[in-house]
Structure formats: C-alpha cells, structure tokens
Structure 1
C-alpha cells in the first residue's frame, strides 16, 4: 500500500463569535477542533492541522491558511473536496481554497506578513453586533495617523503584548498602520511580519486614547520604550478584530 503523503494549504474564513479562538482547547470549542473533525470525516483518517497563527476568543478571520497532510491522490477534485467540507462545516466557518504545496511548506513559519483590520461604528446597528465595536464619538483620525507613524519599523512591542506568552522575542516589524473611514465605519489596518498576543487590540486602545485627546500623539513613543503593558491603553473588544490577509513567498 502506498502511504506517500501530500501536504495541502487550506484557506478558510470564519466568524469567531461562537468560538474560543482558532487553537484547540481542552474544555472549549475552537475553530480548529471543528475543522479537524470535518477533515477527518471527509478524508476518513486522522488529520492534524497547523494554522498560520492563533486568533483569540471572538476574533474573526477573513483569511487564514492551515496545512495538513493526507495520502497522495486521496483528494481527486478540489471542487468536490471543498464542497464536501463546506457541506459539513458550521455556517460560520467556510473553506475557500485548497492548494497543494511541497511537504516542507509550513503555514505558520513560512508566512512573511500578516494583516489585521479593526472596525468601529458609531450608531446602534443590529447587523454589526459581535462584528464591530460601537463607540459614541468620532476620534481625531489625523491625530491617530500621526501616532501610527511611530509604530512603523522593527521594534520591541512588549508594551502591547499579553503577559507570560510563550514566545522567544517580542520584536516585530510593522510595515503599515493607518486609520481611514470606510462606509461610515472607522477602520484601523495594520500589517507586520508577526504579531504578539493581544497586540492589535492593545495598539487600537492606545491610539483611541490619543484620538480622544487624552494623550499626545508622541506619547506612544514613551509607551513603546517602557516595554510595560500597563503603560499602553485598554485592550479593545475582540469582536471588532479581523485577520484579513496572510502572505507567503510561494503563493
């Protein structure tokens, strides 16, 4: 029997409202658990997935890549395979694409950049419940965009990280960060080579303090230099945060 394995990248999207994040949890439902269960049903074998990163409870993903291995020629038609997955996955998780890759390709370690968006709205809207953060007053966008310039480049972002995380370094390179208005909503977009746990939500909380003029734009420099989470702003609600894009050199 030929047991040669083929590695695939699977692109998925999900509404994270009902899940305790992407990653498998011992006592809670996660997106990874739901996906693994369905893959095992469709492929009729034990499947282990590795995601490009983790999202926390309530955070959404417009694009997340995972990799898994299965026996070569087990998947004969991409269209049929994706149809089978989507028929069994919950309505809030969808399989978008399937890409055969080399057997040493890695969904997490090979990603060269990741992008997130944070959405804010200002009027009560039942269609944005658990999908955007409602605040009362519009902050100063120009002031916040002045502050975002201090985030750019390679720096130690310990001040925006959840404490006691299992990472080797808190140094990240932020390539882009800006606020803009989009269909009556305020959107923060940020791209970096990697992100720390809770990093985007803490950055947004810090920038909002600047936007409502509780702090000067330049104060974000002192926050970064302090390397202390207590110096940064609040962690804004998870439901406004979306993982939007992941880049690989070979995709």
Structure 2
C-alpha cells in the first residue's frame, strides 16, 4: 500500500454554509469538498483544514491536507477541473500540491492573515460580503489602537471561552485599517489566531472609533485577559481568511 499526502488550496464564499468543519444537520464547506474529491479521486477522502472558519465567514486562501492510497500522482494533480465541476459555485478548488508525509495543514502554518470589510451605505452588491455600519468612525484612533496589538501576546480577552487551545498567546505582526471606496478594510496578520479573535478585536476597535473607549481603556481590556471586558463580536459576513503560509510552500 502506497499512501501519499497532499494539500488542496481552495477559496469559498461562506454565506450559505455553516462554517468549514463538518457538523451534523448543517451544510459545511468541508462536507461538500470531501464528497466531490471522493467522487473524482475514486476513494474516500477526509480533509483536515488549516483552521475552522465560522458560519458566514469567507476564505480567499484556505488549505487542507488529505491522504490517498495507491493513487497516480499525475491524475491527482490534474483532478482540479473535475472537483470544481462537482462543487457549488461558491467553492473553488485552486490546486493540489504533493507534500511530505507529516505535513499538517493546521499545525505547520507559520502565518495567517485576515481582512474585515466594512461599508457605510446600503449596497445590495455587498450583502453577506461586508458589514454595513452607519456610524461615523475615528479611523486615526482605530489605527492607533490596532498598532498596540503588536505590543501584546496574550489575547485571552478576544477568545471564545472553553476552547481546546493550550495557550492564548499569538504574535501579531500587522494590524491596520485602510479606507476603500465607501468603507474600510482591516488587515491583521499573526502566527496564529484564537477562536473568534478577529471579530472580537474588530468589535472592540469599533468602540474606539465611536469614541466609547480610550486607548488606555483598550490596553486595560487586553491586560484584563477577560472576554467580557472586550467588545461584542462583529458580524461574520465581513471576515475573510486571505493568507496562510507554510515554510515548504512558495
């Protein structure tokens, strides 16, 4: 028996799905991907993703690993068109990459980046793809607060409780708001992220933008390590996973 491990790179609009990970009584991206790949590759395929995006969250760059037994590599690498033919239009397979036998889509990732989109006027073309916010925001103050994230490592205050992580430490290397046509995009990059972390950070930064809390308050929230101190999680529709990096992929 010859077992070989591969990565598959995909992108998806999460509006119609209950997140990435397979769940009972809910349609997920992983379920549809595994089903399409199993059909095309003619053997059971069980993927393991680089993370768990929640219901309604999108991904422009997402990786999962899977194993195949006694499969001809050339046919595997050329199976993208067939897989895409069976996937709904909201999910796109980009490429399949041979990797070493111990490669792990989740644990081997050295960097991840998310973007969060906000728009300020009703726009039917941004429905489920950006968060409509009618409040005026102080973007300068939000960027000053975002920059403070780079000074900390323990982000317990922005994490869902009762998660199965061994540590709430993350190394944030970029956090910045940029103004775009009719709205804002917030980009944040780190070595890892906690469950719900980006949406909780965004909810707290919006409080800065509304002048509800100060920069000193923001630092006190982080130092409290208490989720109830931070702002509410913002809507899932504006969140995109945009980059995942591995030391052996270029």
Same fold (TM over 0.5): yes
Partner of 2:171, secondary structure, is strand
Partner of 1:137, secondary structure, is coil
Q: Distance in 2 between matches of 1:72 and 1:97?
A: 20
Output one character per residue of 1:182-227: Cα deviation in whole Å (capped at 9) or x when no partner. Answer: 2332000000111111100000000000011111122211001111
Given candidates 78, 97, 120, the residue that maps to 1:99 is: 97
Partner of 1:218, secondary structure, is helix
- Tell whether the 8 Å contact from 1:75 to 1:81 is kept in structure 2 after alignment: no
Long gaps (5+) in structure 1: none
In structure 2, the residue matched to 1:28 is 26
In structure 1, the residue matched to 2:82 is 84
Over aligned residues, Cα RMSD in angstroms? 1.3
In structure 1, the residue matched to 2:203 is 205
Q: Distance in 2 between matches of 1:19 and 1:47?
A: 20
Q: Distance in 2 between matches of 1:133 and 1:62?
A: 17
Output one character per residue of 1:50-84: Cα deviation in whole Å (capped at 9) or x when no partner. Answer: 10111001100001000111134434246631100
Q: Distance in 2 between matches of 1:76 and 1:183?
A: 44
Partner of 1:219, secondary structure, is helix
In structure 2, the residue matched to 1:176 is 174
Q: Distance in 1 between matches of 2:110 and 2:70?
A: 28
TM-superposed deviation, 1:29: 1.1
After the TM superposition, list the runs of 4 or more consecutive aligned residues in structure 1 that deviate by more than 6 angstroms.
none
- Paired residues in the alignment total 249
User: Comparing 136-145 with 73-82, which one deviates more in the overlay?
Assistant: 73-82
- Tell whether the 8 Å contact from 2:114 to 2:243 is kept in structure 1 after alignment: yes
Aligned pair 1:223/2:198, yes or no? Answer: no
Partner of 1:85, secondary structure, is helix
TM-score (norm 2): 0.96
Partner of 1:206, secondary structure, is helix
Long gaps (5+) in structure 2: none
Given candidates 53, 56, 66, the residue that maps to 2:54 is: 56
Given candidates 226, 229, 232, the residue that maps to 1:234 is: 232
TM-score (norm 1): 0.96
- Tell whether the 8 Å contact from 1:48 to 1:68 is kept in structure 2 after alignment: yes
Output one character per residue of 1:157-189: Cα deviation in whole Å (capped at 9) or x when no partner. Answer: 110011111111111111110101123320000
TM-superposed deviation, 1:43: 1.1
User: Comparing 77-86 with 233-242, which one deviates more in the overlay?
Assistant: 77-86
